[in-house]
Amino acid sequence: MLDRSGWESQLLETGFLGIFLCPLWTLSRLPSHTPPSTIVIWGFRWLIFRIMLGAGLIKIRGDRCWRELTCMDYHYEVLLIVSGNLSFLNWLTIVPSIACFDDTSLAFLFSSRQGGVKDQLAQMQVKRAAGEQLPLRYGCYVRKVVNISFGLLIAYLSVPVILNLLNSRQVMNTSFNPLRIVNTYGAFGSITKERTEVIIQGTSSMDPNDPTAVWEEYDFKCKPGDLKRRPCFISPYHYRLDWLMWFAAFQTYEQNEWIIHLAGKLLAQDEAALSLMATNPFAGRAPPRWIRAEHFKYKFSRPGGKHAGDGKWWIRKRIGPYFPPVNLQGLQKFYEDRSWPHPAQA
């Protein structure tokens, strides 16, 4: 469900500010020997600040994704993890936040046996309470040197990132050094404002240019196609072919040669390829002679409108051809040039 009120995002933003600002008053009271070190704490603050600044710029620019896609909404984040949609990115985002939990919250992860981590910590606390000065070990000095060096490196590498962030024509998904660290990568560096779809069609006609040729559509398991099929809920994983088709829709088939490979598989009625589709209009009969792809712009029908009254979830408008009609014979050289096995020979 789209969050149009915006209050959840505002509440989340307030939470981020609380996380960022609260340690300012408590940092001076943290014992010097207590992990995490100062540089780590400020490193986390910097990361949170970048999130806040980026979110603020999105709102200032009036980017609709802030309101319509609830970019910073935890409900959306959890849904992504549950569904498996880019879940690895969400898990990687959550893992570093574990360091922000209090030691008591993470105590169950460590052994309580004598001589274990908890026992050593208890002894240190007793000695500290008795006023005994604990000697700093060699490893503590090494850690401080490493943390400071790492902090200085991050600060140095962040300079072009900050300049790019403040630029009105900022570039996303870009690195500024050979190691590609401290970059401007974002899973959604830009959000398209229109939904375009590639619709694959097949025909049994001998002549694909015959105006009377009947073109039948292949439906995918989840992506928009059939105007009367409601949007699906993807769980516990997302359909990779549908995902690739989404990207192919705002690129060209020359940039996505795999889609021609898929066309050849459909021409040959390849069972593995057809198992990835929701429908096969040629099931139980001869395979299609030609396959083509058409490009459409999709949008939701309005509740109570004419299209919704006809049971249509979507309204679409043809943009033009995506790739021209192809047959197995015509794809022979295309497959040979790429060392792909020809579907008819599989």
C-alpha 98/C-alpha 105 separation (Å) is: 10
Phi, psi of 32 (to 5 degrees): -65, -25
Assess contact for 87 and 235: CB atoms under 8 A: no
pLDDT for the residue 182: 83
Which position has the higher pLDDT, 342 or 58?
A: 342
Instruction: Report, as an integer, the average pLDDT of 341-346.
Output: 73
Give the model confidence (pLDDT) of 254-301 as tens digits.
999 999 999 999 999 999 999 999 999 999 999 999 999 999 999 999
94 confidence band (pLDDT: 50, 70, 90): low
Which position has the higher pLDDT, 204 or 105?
A: 204
Give the model confidence (pLDDT) of 6-64 as tens digits.
444 444 444 554 544 444 444 444 455 555 556 666 666 666 665 555 555 544 444 44
pLDDT for the residue 265: 95
Q: Does this model's pTM top 0.75?
A: no
Instruction: Report, as an integer, the average pLDDT of 131-155.
Output: 83
Looking at every residue in the chain, the average pLDDT score rounds to 77
Which position has the higher pLDDT, 291 or 188?
A: 291
Is the four-CA dihedral 24, 26, 29, 34 of positive or negative sign? negative
C-alpha 184/C-alpha 165 separation (Å) is: 8
- Which CA distances in Å does 246 have to 11, 180, 215, 230, 289? 32, 27, 22, 17, 26
Instruction: Report, as an integer, the average pLDDT of 322-346.
Output: 88
Share of the chain above pLDDT 70, in %: 66
The answer on pLDDT for 225 being more than 90 is yes
Instruction: Report, as an integer, the average pLDDT of 234-246.
Output: 79
